[in-house]
């Protein structure tokens, strides 16, 4: 287990170093020459790694604790995929504002960026809704008791 922790620690250090290197390269070159695309692609890779880690750990823990929970997880993944698909469909992919003297990212990059922004808005709204519903539910259950 110690070796696994060391692997994760060094993997995180490597990911942070690559992120900082891309950021510094962008500032040094004035965000010209595809640095914006490279930074956005790196952000997509980081989001993908995070999602993959959550899914893999969820599958392992879910299968170890209760094999039947994999069905619920599959339904959750399907709902999440549907939300991502809808967010992709409604994402406009308009040009980035403020990038006057630099190259605009490609249309596909802008579409993915808008999709991730919509997913962030959806996650934030869901968190606020969960807090409100949780507090209301807690107030109702405390009132009965």
67-104 pLDDT, tens digit each: 888 888 889 889 999 999 999 999 998 887 766 666 77
The CA–CA distances, whole Å, from 78 to 50, 99, 128 equal: 18, 37, 23
| Interval 27-56: pLDDT, tens | 888 877 777 778 888 888 888 888 888 888
Average pLDDT over the chain, rounded to an integer: 86
Question: Structure pTM?
Answer: 0.62
Number of Cβ within 10 Å of residue 109's Cβ equals 17
Domain count, the chain: 1
**Host domain of residue 7:** 2-144
Cβ pair 103, 34 in contact under 8 A: yes
């Amino acid at each position: 287990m110690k070796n696994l922790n060391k692997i994760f620690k060094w993997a995180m250090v490597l990911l942070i170093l690559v992120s900082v290197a891309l950021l510094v390269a962008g500032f040094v070159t004035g965000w010209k020459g595809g640095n914006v695309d490279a930074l956005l692609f790196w952000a997509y890779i980081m989001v993908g790694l995070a999602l993959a880690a959550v899914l893999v750990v969820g599958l392992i823990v879910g299968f170890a604790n209760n094999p039947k929970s994999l069905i619920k997880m599959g339904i959750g993944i399907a709902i999440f995929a549907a939300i991502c698909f809808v967010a992709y469909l409604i994402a406009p992919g308009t040009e980035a504002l403020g990038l006057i003297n630099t190259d605009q990212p490609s249309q596909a990059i802008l579409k993915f960026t808008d999709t991730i922004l919509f997913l962030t808005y959806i996650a934030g709204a869901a968190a606020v809704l969960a807090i409100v519903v949780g507090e209301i539910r807690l107030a109702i259950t405390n009132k009965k008791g």
